């Protein structure tokens, strides 16, 4: 069972003799300027970049952490961290913010946060979020823009894997809605270790950008900087992945299901009340989205999206990680599953492995199931978290005769009966209605969204 703890953010009170050192430096600088005869305008121009209000149009206050005001420093029960200014590791200015994560919470990165409130977002206005960061091996920073009140909607959410040298991370986004008091949050509890953050800016950009487009990372201006690789879990190596960083579905990796005449379709997707249409599938802001809507398409009352890797990628044994945020409401049925490449071949058993299934009327229960001809169905559940409220990572580790199922890195299931032993391909879709959930009712609000952050498939490194 997954456990969750909810707490109001508490400001971390850090009072030290360094708190207002920028005023001291300013006074000394002005005095030196007077002695040396440096014009005041020139002196202020040089010092301006060090002050907390620096940065033309920056919506973030004190983004260079020259003091500790303007930010909330949150440590929730089940984690431990210390926050300090560091004048020896700064990227720019006098200080950076150092976070020493002593007790991490890998399944709850939000247990440790640095956040700033009252960030104004305006629908359709493009913004660039950038910051410098570095950290110990395995540490991550998850920047997000989030609604400050219930239901805490997430406008933007990414993960940056840190290196031992300063890197600049740059994101361009265009909010689809307005929020005058959003939170800018850095989630930090994924792994123990030292983290440094500096030069946080959020400002309007004139760059041409589609809604929530992302560019990550932009390396720091140093000849030794290299793009960040995806860090494979211990014992695994990356074999196939899609981070959805483009503007359209990568059709070299995916088939887009389409019930229209001449469209790609597999008979296993016959359930549900929806019509499968490419119009329900979009990629923007580093997110693959299935939009499930109530409309008439080819004689169906609903439309939704589905992708498969049939004929483009298959695997026999390995690890699948899918980070996804599911829909909520009666009749919604998101599914991530695999089928055999040669399902109809003589002498090969029929298998179906469900990495995730969920009923929208109960978004706090996730299911995995193994269906195999000649064997009883095996299934397990994970409960206790509203999986529609944010992104969660569902993992299947498939070895000969064994499937291990994890949610946010925590094992919930071990299946050893009827495990597939043939190559399989991946399917991701969202049914509307169907034999399991039943039809939507009047409480279901449309459109509904299924959002995917990434899909990664690994093989054993040995």
For 359-378, what is the mean pLDDT?
91
What pLDDT, in 10s, does the model give residues 206-235?
Answer: 755 433 333 333 333 332 333 357 889 999
Looking at beta carbons, which pairs linking 372-376 to residues 24 or more positions away fall under 8 Å?
Answer: 372/417, 372/418, 372/419, 372/420, 373/349, 374/349, 374/418, 375/417, 375/418, 376/417, 376/418
pLDDT in tens, 64-106: 998 888 999 999 988 899 999 998 887 777 889 999 999 988 7
Q: Which residue has the higher pLDDT, 419 or 6?
A: 419
- Position 7 confidence tier, pLDDT thresholds 50, 70, 90: very low
Residue 206, C-beta contacts closer than 8 angstroms, at least 6 positions apart: 126
pLDDT band at residue 350, thresholds of 50, 70 and 90?
confident
pLDDT-derived band at 36, boundaries 50, 70, 90: low
Token digits for 154? 């997430």
CATH number at residue 379: 2.60.120.200
Query: Is the domain of 360 the same as that of 244?
Result: yes
> Do 240 and 179 belong to one domain?
no
**What is the per-residue pLDDT for 25?**
52
Q: Does 177 or 21 have the greater pLDDT score?
A: 177
Residues 188 and 63 in one domain: yes
Is the residue at 216 inside a domain? no
Q: pLDDT band for position 152 (50/70/90)?
A: confident
Distant-in-sequence, close-in-space partners of 299: CB < 8 Å, separation ≥ 6: 275
Residue 180 Rama label (left phi>0; alpha psi -120 to 50; beta): alpha
pLDDT-based confidence at residue 28 (cuts at 50, 70, 90): low
Q: Does residue 272 or residue 348 have the better pLDDT?
A: 272
What pLDDT, on the 0 to 100 scale, is given for residue 197? 95
User: Rounded to whole angstroms, how far apart are CA atoms 253 and 311?
Assistant: 9
Is the residue at 445 inside a domain? Answer: yes
Model confidence band, residue 29 (pLDDT cutoffs 50, 70, 90): low
Q: Determine, yes or no, domain membership for 209.
A: no
Q: pTM to 2 decimals?
A: 0.55
Contact criterion met (CB below 8 Å) for 308 and 425: yes
In a domain, 67, yes or no: yes
pLDDT of 32 reads 59
How many independent structural domains does the chain possess?
Answer: 2
Reduced to 3 states (helix: H, G, I; strand: E, B; else coil), residue 92 is coil
Is residue 185 located within the same domain as residue 267?
no
167 and 66 within one domain: yes
Same domain, 270 and 321: yes
Boundary of a domain, candidates 204, 221, 255: 204
Mean pLDDT along residues 249-263 = 96
Q: In this structure, are 262 and 167 located in the same domain?
A: no
Residue with the larger pLDDT of the pair 275 and 298: 275
To the nearest whole number, what is the mean pLDDT of the chain? 82
Domain residues for the domain of 314 are 236-460
Using a 10 angstrom Cβ sphere, with 0-12 exposed, 13-18 middle and 19 or more buried, the burial of residue 343 is middle
pLDDT in tens, 381-434: 999 889 998 899 999 999 999 999 999 999 999 999 999 999 999 999 999 999
- Least confident among 17-21, 159-163, 306-310: 17-21
Residue 329 covered by a domain: yes
Beta partners for residue 240, in sequence order: 457
| The dihedral sign for the CA sequence 380, 385, 389, 391 | negative
pLDDT (tens digit per residue) in 280-289: 999 988 899 9
Q: What is the CA radius of gyration of the chain?
A: 25
């Amino acid at each position: 069972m997954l456990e969750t703890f909810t707490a109001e953010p508490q400001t971390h009170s850090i009072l030290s003799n360094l708190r207002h050192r920028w005023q001291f430096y300013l006074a000394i600088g002005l005095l030196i300027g007077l002695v040396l005869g440096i014009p005041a305008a020139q002196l202020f121009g040089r010092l301006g970049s060090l002050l907390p209000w620096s940065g033309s149009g920056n919506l973030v206050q004190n983004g260079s952490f020259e003091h500790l005001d303007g930010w909330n420093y949150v440590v929730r029960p089940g984690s431990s961290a210390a926050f300090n200014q560091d004048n020896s590791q700064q990227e720019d200015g006098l200080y950076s913010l150092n976070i020493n994560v002593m007790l991490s919470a890998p399944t709850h990165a939000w247990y440790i946060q640095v956040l700033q409130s009252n960030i104004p977002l305006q629908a359709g206005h493009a913004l660039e979020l950038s910051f410098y960061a570095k950290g110990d091996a395995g540490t991550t920073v998850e920047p997000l823009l989030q609604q400050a009140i219930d239901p805490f909607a997430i406008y933007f959410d990414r993960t940056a894997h840190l290196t031992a040298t300063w890197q600049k991370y740059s994101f361009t986004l265009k909010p689809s809605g307005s929020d005058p008091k959003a939170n800018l949050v850095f989630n930090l509890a994924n792994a123990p270790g030292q983290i440094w953050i500096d030069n946080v800016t959020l400002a309007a950009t004139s760059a041409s950008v589609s809604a929530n487009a992302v560019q990550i990372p932009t390396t720091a201006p140093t000849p030794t900087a290299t793009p960040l690789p995806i860090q494979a879990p211990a014992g695994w190596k990356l074999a196939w992945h899609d981070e959805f960083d483009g503007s359209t579905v990568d059709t070299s990796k995916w088939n887009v299901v389409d019930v229209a005449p001449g469209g790609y379709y597999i008979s296993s997707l016959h359930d549900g009340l929806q019509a499968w249409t490419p119009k329900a599938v979009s990629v923007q802001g580093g997110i693959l989205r299935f939009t499930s809507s109530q409309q008439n398409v080819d004689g169906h009352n609903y439309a939704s999206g589905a992708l498969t890797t049939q004929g483009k990628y298959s695997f026999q044994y390995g690890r699948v990680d899918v980070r996804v945020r599911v829909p909520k409401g009666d009749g919604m049925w998101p599914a991530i599953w695999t089928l055999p490449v040669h399902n109809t071949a003589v002498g090969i058993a029929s298998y179906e492995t469900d990495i995730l299934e969920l009923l929208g009327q109960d978004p706090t229960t996730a299911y995995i199931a193994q269906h195999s001809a000649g064997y009883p169905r095996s299934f397990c559940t994970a409960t206790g978290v509203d999986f529609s409220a944010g992104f969660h990572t569902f993992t299947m580790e498939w070895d000969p005769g064994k499937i291990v199922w994890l949610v946010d890195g925590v094992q919930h299931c071990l299946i050893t009966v009827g495990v597939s032993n043939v190559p399989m391909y991946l399917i991701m879709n969202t049914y509307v209605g169907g034999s399991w959930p039943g039809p939507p009712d009047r409480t279901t609000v449309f459109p509904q969204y299924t959002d995917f952050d990434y899909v990664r498939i690994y093989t054993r490194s040995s």
